[in-house]
Amino acid sequence: MKHIPLVLLLLCACSGGDPTPTGTVCPDPDPMTLTYDNFGREFMTKYCTWCHDSSLPRSKRNGAPLYHDFDTLLGVLQVPDHIDEETGIGPDATNRFMPPDRCPSELGGVANTNCAKPTDEERKQLAEWIACERNRPHNFNVDAGVDAP
Ligand code: HEC
Given this model, what pLDDT does residue 12 score? 44
Task: Give a yes or no: residue 143 inside a domain.
Answer: no
Residue 143: the pLDDT is 72
Residue among 43, 29, 65 at smallest CA distance from 130: 43
Q: 95 CA to middle of ligand 1, Å? A: 12
pTM score of the predicted model: 0.89
Residue 1 in any domain: the answer is: no
The Å distance, Cα 91 to ligand 1 centre, comes to 22
2: buried, middle or exposed (CB in 10 Å: 19+, 13-18, 0-12)? exposed
CB-CB contact of 95 with 88 (8 Å): yes
In 13-134, DSSP assigns E strands to 89-90, 93-94, 102-104, 111-114
Q: What is the pLDDT of residues 63-73, one digit of tens each?
A: 999 999 999 99
Question: H-helix or E-strand containing 58?
Answer: none
5 pLDDT tier (thresholds 50, 70, 90) = low
Lowest mean pLDDT of 10-19, 35-44, 48-57, 138-147, name the range: 10-19
**How many domains in the chain?**
1
User: Strand locations in the chain, DSSP E?
Assistant: 89-90, 93-94, 102-104, 111-114
Is 1's pLDDT higher than 50? no
70 occurs within a structural domain: yes
* In a domain? residue 79: yes
Using alpha carbons, list the distances in angstroms from residue 112 to 16, 62, 72, 107, 129: 25, 11, 25, 12, 30
In-domain check, residue 13: no
Query: Does any domain span residue 3?
Result: no
Residue 115 structural domain = 19-133
The pLDDT tens digits of the residues spanning 45-55 come to: 999 999 999 99
Q: Is 49 a member of any domain?
A: yes
Mean pLDDT value of segment 75-100: 98
Give the residue-averaged pLDDT of 92-108: 98
Measured in Å, residue 98 CA sits from the centre of ligand 1 at 5
